[in-house]
Amino acid sequence: MRILITGCSTGFGRATAVEATRRGHEVIATARDVATLDDLDVAERLSLDVTDRASITAAVAQAGRLDALVNNAGVDRHGPVESYPEDVAQWVMDTNFWGTFRMTTAVAPAMRAQGSGVIVNMSSVQGRVGTPLGGVYSASKAAIESYSESAHFELSHFGVRMVVVQPGYFDTPMATKGSDELIEGTVYEELAAQWSSGSDSLNPAGRPGPDVVATAIVDALEDPETPLRVPVGNDAVMVLGARGSMDDVAFEAVMRGTLNLTW
């Protein structure tokens, strides 16, 4: 299988490139700065910026025929909705949702024409559950959820599969990079502390590493019976299961109790 993966410099993307290569797949690893991929042993390494249509067009042309696309590139910044900077919100949406949109539109016509293909879009538990101080990130992932479901109904008719991967809380560089800069000095510092402690309690042995998600992604690529949505991590299974089986009032009560939120 010839697989193009975005955002391979760190985290889920890099781990997925390694795992897919280990299983014998032909991996095209991409990142904005291709030099960050120099130590990655894959079939090809390409420069690709998912916020730049010209960069996408060039990379997809250079990649040639694809069997699969993993839309992994993403960014995050936590912050309260009342003071969240508009330029940061636009950056998050442009990378997470519009990047996924651009990449999908770049490869879907060829996959439809060849009658096969798999597109894996990276969502999150936060794509189904809005979390405090994660409003913009949650919104970007919720958009991916709806977009992917629509694409599933359209493209499955032509043999193209869509998969939405929903990780819980994992230990990756994106999970910590710049996570507090929009919260420090605000009235929401206590909420941030409570939420961090509570979410950590869902993984008492510590947050898993990205290899767990990489395994789930490659499994989904290989298994034609994979459902549309794939939660990954014990916390994801628990939270999404509760969200799907409860009304809003009951779910909020359970989450507040489970996470020991007094806010």
Question: Which residues are tagged catalytic?
Answer: 9, 123, 137, 141
Residue labelled with tokens 């628990």 = 238
Residue labelled with tokens 């014990």 = 234
Cα 18 to Cα 6: distance, rounded to the nearest angstrom = 13
Asked whether the beta carbons of 65 and 114 are under 8 A apart, the reply is yes
* 57 half-sphere exposure, CB direction, 13 A CA radius: 3
Give start and end residues of each alpha helix (H) in the chain.
11-22, 53-63, 86-114, 135-155, 173-176, 189-201, 211-222, 234-245, 248-259
Q: How many residues does the chain have?
A: 263
Contacts for 77 with CB less than 8 Å, ≥ 6 apart: 88, 92, 136, 137, 178, 179, 181, 182
